[in-house]
Amino acid sequence: MTGADPTITVLLADDQAMIRQALSALLQLEPDIAVVGQAGDVAETVRRVREIRPEVVLLDVQMPSPDVAGADGIDACAAIMAEVPSTRVIILTTFGRPGYLRRAMEAGAVGYMVKDAPAEQLVEGIRRVHQGLRVVDPTLAAASLSIGASPLTSRELEVLVAASSGASTSAIAGGLFLSEGTVRNHLSSAMGKLGAGTRAEAVRIATDNGWLG
């Protein structure tokens, strides 16, 4: 590489500082990649992208969100696409869940890679999305096609999210401004669609498929 060669600017978004530092050290070894910023939560990620306008963002799914309860890295991706659509987002996560992949693509991500992929695949993935291509873990892509979209309605998902904390039916009803009977109906419907015997099993299935976010 010469000084005239283009440099790909990258922002790292992960709530674990050690992972960000390791990724930064790895990527800085590449002559055509420059890490220009880091972020540790959803709001900071969106703000930093707005300020720096990196060409590529490596974005974790399970990011904390002190400003918006329940928001995650995929929500950050959607916000980035709305504000800085020229940025290319690669979701980089330990969670190889097909539902996450589908949500990420719908939010505008152009890449989805798991953290245990070889380093050279990550570097090549950055270069590919910078060129306008997509990079998706092939195993997850196949799994995503096989399970399809979430069969749950938005209200059923909302009730399951509330149930995932172990809240009682009355507590869920109070929190969502629903009657207890309505909550039970939504939980029963979700369990039936997922083939679950209990609400805890329904939560587990939906979480494993990435449908609960």
Q: 191 in a domain, yes or no?
A: yes
Count CB-CB contacts under 10 A for residue 141: 16
Please give the helix or strand (H or E) that residue 191 lies within, else none.
helix 180-194
Residue 191 belongs to domain spanning = 154-208
Residue of 139, 123, 129, 122 whose CA lies nearest to 108: 129
Q: Give the per-residue pLDDT at 145.
A: 52
Alpha helices in 69-136 (DSSP H): 73-83, 98-107, 119-130
Q: What is the DSSP letter of 30?
A: S
Q: 140 in a domain, yes or no?
A: yes
Q: Give the per-residue pLDDT at 197.
A: 86
Model confidence at 95, pLDDT cuts 50, 70, 90, reads low
Q: 32 in a domain, yes or no?
A: yes
103, 119, 146: which is the final residue of a domain? 146
Q: Give the per-residue pLDDT at 2.
A: 42
Lowest mean pLDDT among 14-23, 94-103, 104-113, 128-137: 94-103
Give the full edge-to-edge strand order of the sheet including 33-39: 33-39, 8-13, 56-59, 88-93, 111-114, 135-136
Q: Give the per-residue pLDDT at 196.
A: 87
pTM of the shown model: 0.68
| Residue 29 and residue 57 in one domain | yes
pLDDT in tens, 108-122: 999 988 888 888 999
The helix, strand and coil proportions of the chain, stated in percent and rounded to the nearest 5, come to 50, 15, 35
Q: 3 in a domain, yes or no?
A: no
**Centroid of chain to Cα 130:** 19
119, 146, 173: which is the final residue of a domain? 146
Read off the tokens for 206. 């939906």
**Total count of domains within the chain:** 2
Q: 1 in a domain, yes or no?
A: no
pLDDT in tens, 130-167: 999 999 876 666 555 556 677 889 899 889 888 888 88
146, 165, 196: which is the final residue of a domain? 146
| Residue 70 and residue 92 in one domain | yes
pLDDT in tens, 168-189: 999 999 989 999 999 999 999 9
210: left (phi over 0), alpha (psi -120 to 50) or beta: left
Model confidence at 1, pLDDT cuts 50, 70, 90, reads very low
Count CB-CB contacts under 10 A for residue 56: 24
